[in-house]
Copies of this chain bind each other. A is one copy, B any other.
């Protein structure tokens, strides 16, 4: 966005307003003395229209536009409410005073294990039960999950313990069953820009948990959410799970500053998943505490009654005692 100043005398006033609004800008002069400001409105937490209105009195505002008009129109107090049979709904909100804990095993192995897990998690205040029915594995030779019937099974156990159920739909063919049984449908990091899947999920009205792809910029992530809104469903919860960067000692780089920026720019709630981002048990508590201090809308963690028996991601899952200790410590 560019503001061409009506008069050079207005510059101090414009700088004052821009600084107050927290806009980054660059002041330049043309060769004939005219002054203008280049304002990075793409990167600003304010809507372009609002900036245009605030600065329009000082001169001519050029180049208003946004790639995410539907996200921009969400109200500031936007929240996603997930209904749970026979229980209070679960509310996801941007800067949350009551962050939502999402926990459960990486993959669904058997109902008995999951029920034991769920009973403990309920006692620790977890409101959403996660579990992978269909697993997106990098290699076709790794364990691929129990399949679509797991959606129903997960939901039944979740509801038994007054929790909502979340699981991932990998294929367009999974959408119907996912929308029928699950309370929240997850789009995995690898499918963040699978636009066919996003469009089909947007035709339903179930909340969607959209994970960030490890190679996606913040605005690409927002644009993927915009696809779901453009199909008619605005009930989107974002999930940060680490980006590709310098990491050698950790799996990915957890981008908490990126979450903070997204929260100032868009109204969608964002949960943080330290398990996948770091793959390192020792720091999950510190990362969860940091995310809740932003504050984020919630935390997503992998738990398992007996991590070493789990069929995937065994060593990053917390056992029940570890998870209890973590929630106790973070809640302090």
Interface residue ranges, A against B (CB under 8 Å): 2, 4, 15-16, 19, 22, 24-26, 28-32, 34, 36, 38, 42-43, 45, 60-65, 67-69, 136-141, 170-174, 190-191, 193-197, 199, 213-220, 223, 226-227, 230, 242-250, 253-258, 260-261, 263-265, 274, 277-283, 286-287, 289-294, 307-308, 315
Contact = CB atoms under 8 A, between A and B. Distances in A.
A31 B172 CA distance: 42
Q: What secondary structure prevails in chain A residues at the interface with B?
A: mixed
Contacts of A62: 28-31, 34, 36
A261 B287 CA distance: 10
Contact of A253 (B42, B141, B258): B258
A163 B136 CA distance: 36
B230 A249 contact: no
A277 B279 CA distance: 24
Contacts of A196: 170-174
A81 to B, nearest CB: 24
A208 to B, nearest CB: 14
Given A140-B199, A243-B246, A254-B257, 18 more contacts: A19-B308, A19-B315, A22-B280, A30-B60, A30-B61, A31-B60, A34-B60, A67-B139, A139-B226, A141-B230, A172-B172, A172-B196, A218-B250, A249-B265, A253-B253, A260-B278, A261-B283, A290-B293
Nearest to A12: B308
Nearest to A30: B62
Q: Top 6 closest A-B pairs, CB basis?
A: A215-B215, A171-B196, A190-B193, A245-B245, A293-B293, A260-B286
